[in-house]
Chain A
Amino acid sequence: MSQTTSVRWFLVVLLAFIRRELTALGGYRAAFLIRLFGLALGVGGMVFLSRFVGAAANPHLAAYGGNYLGFMVLGLLAAEFQQVGVSGLSQRIRVAQMMGTLEAELATPAPPGMVLGAAPVYEFGTAALRSTAYLVGASLLLDLNLDHANWGTLVLAVPLVIAAFSGLGLLAAGTTMLVRRLNPVATVIGSVSFFLSGVMYPVTVLPEWLRAVGRALPLTHTLALLRGALLVGASPAALADSFLALAIFAAVLAPLGAVVFRFALRRTRIDGSLSHY
Chain B
Amino acid sequence: MSAAPAVVVERLGKIFRPPAGLGAMLRGRFFGAPLHALADVSLTVATGEIACVMGPNGAGKSTLVRILGGLLLPSSGHARAAGIDVIAGDSAFRRRVAFVVGDERSFHYRVSGRGNLHYFAALHGLTGATARRRAAELLERVGLGAAADRRYREYSRGMRQRLALARGLLGDPQVLLLDEPTLGLDPRGARDMRAFLRDDVIRKSGRTAIVCSNDPSEARALADRVLFLDGGRLRGEAPPDRIEAELGL
Contacts and interface: CB of A to CB of B under 8 A. Distances in A.
Contacts of B121: 16
B72 interface: yes
A106 B71 contact: yes
B123 A275 contact: no
9 contacts: A13-B122, A16-B122, A20-B115, A100-B105, A100-B106, A108-B120, A109-B94, A109-B124, A109-B125
A101 B171 CA distance: 18
Contacts of A103: 71, 101, 103, 106
Contact of B91 (A20, A24, A110): A110
B181 to A, nearest CB: 14
B66 interface: yes
Contacts, number: 106
Interface in B52-98: 63, 66, 69-73, 89-92, 94-95, 98
A263 to B, nearest CB: 13
B125 A24 contact: no
Contact of A271 (B17, B89, B91, B104): B17
Interface in B102-120: 103-112, 115-116, 118-120
Contact of A109 (B72, B107, B171): B171
B111 A13 contact: no
B108 A101 contact: yes
A17 B236 CA distance: 45
Q: Is the interface of A mostly helix, strand, loop or mixed?
A: helix
B66 A110 contact: no
Interface string A3-27: 0000011001101110110011011
Given A23-B110, A271-B17, A107 B101 contact: yes
B205 interface: no
A105 interface: yes
Contacts of A99: 105, 108-109
A66 to B, nearest CB: 48
Given A19-B118, A109-B94, A110-B91, A270 B73 contact: yes
A104 B103 contact: yes
Contact of A272 (B72, B92, B98, B164): B72
A108 B69 CA distance: 10
Nearest to A27: B110
Nearest to B92: A109
A16 B212 CA distance: 32
B66 A272 contact: yes
B86 to A, nearest CB: 10
Contacts of A27: 110
Interface of B: 16-17, 63, 66, 69-73, 89-92, 94-95, 98-99, 101, 103-112, 115-116, 118-125, 127, 164, 167, 170-171
Name the residue among A8, A16, A110 with the largest chain B CB count within 10 angstroms.
Answer: A16
A111 interface: yes
A19 B112 CA distance: 12
A111 B124 CA distance: 10
Contacts of B99: 107
A140 interface: no
A270 B110 CA distance: 32
Given A1-B91, A108-B124, A269-B73, A17 B119 contact: yes
Contacts of A76: none
Contacts of B123: 13, 16, 105, 108-110, 114-115
Contact of B118 (A1, A9, A16, A272): A16
Nearest to B73: A269
Contacts of A16: 118-119, 121-123
Given A15-B122, A105-B123, A107-B71, 12 more contacts: A1-B91, A23-B110, A24-B110, A24-B111, A99-B108, A104-B120, A104-B164, A108-B123, A111-B91, A269-B73, A272-B63, A275-B103
B94 A107 contact: yes
A254 interface: no
A16 B108 CA distance: 13
A86 interface: no
A272 B73 CA distance: 8
Given A109-B94, A272-B66, A12 B111 contact: no
A104 B167 contact: yes
Given A12-B127, A115-B123, A101 B107 contact: yes
A275 B45 CA distance: 27
Contacts of B118: 16, 19-20
5 shortest A-B CB distances, which residue pairs? Answer: A100-B105, A16-B122, A108-B123, A104-B106, A104-B101
A28 B108 CA distance: 14
A274 interface: yes
B163 to A, nearest CB: 11
A261 B213 CA distance: 35
